[in-house]
Amino acid sequence: MKSPGEESVPFSAVFGLPAEVGLRRAAVALDLSPTTAYRRARRGDFPCPVRRSGRRYVVRLPDLMRALGIQDVRVRYDDVEAGARFAGGEADD
């Protein structure tokens, strides 16, 4: 059985990032115009996988991060807590 400090979460979850974003937000992150982004999504050559959610195109956050070269590493809860204490000016014992 793991102790609570040994459990880990994705880095993106620590900051409460959404599980997926709309195509326009993904386009901004990838430095694409909305017109280019929609055209590429329709053609199937957007820089990361895109899916339809009703009438919207959406991109999963891990896919977008991968396309941007950002690794969504797993972090341990106790490391997050230690970082918060450090940022708050507390000394680490």
d(CA 77, CA 11): 10
Q: What is the pLDDT of residue 1?
A: 44
Contacting residues for 88 by C-beta, under 8 A, at least 6 apart? none
Q: What is the pLDDT of residue 45?
A: 95
Enter the pTM of the model: 0.68
Residue 1 is which amino acid?
Answer: M
Split into its structural domains, the chain has a count of 1
**What average pLDDT does range 50-61 have in this prediction?**
94
User: How do residues 5-50 score in pLDDT, each as one tens digit?
Assistant: 567 777 677 667 788 999 999 999 999 999 999 999 999 999 999 9
DSSP character string of the chain:
---GGG-EEEHHHHTT--SEEEHHHHHHHTT--HHHHHHHHHHT--SS--EEETTEEEEEHHHHHHHTT----EEEHHHHHHHHHHHTTPPP-
Q: Is residue 41 assigned to a domain?
A: yes
β-strand pairing of 8-10 with 20-22: unpaired
Q: Is residue 57 assigned to a domain?
A: yes
Q: Is residue 92 assigned to a domain?
A: no
Note down the domain range covering 58.
4-87
Q: Is residue 93 assigned to a domain?
A: no
**What average pLDDT does range 59-85 have in this prediction?**
82
Question: Is 86 or 1 the better-scoring residue by pLDDT?
Answer: 86
**What average pLDDT does range 77-86 have in this prediction?**
75
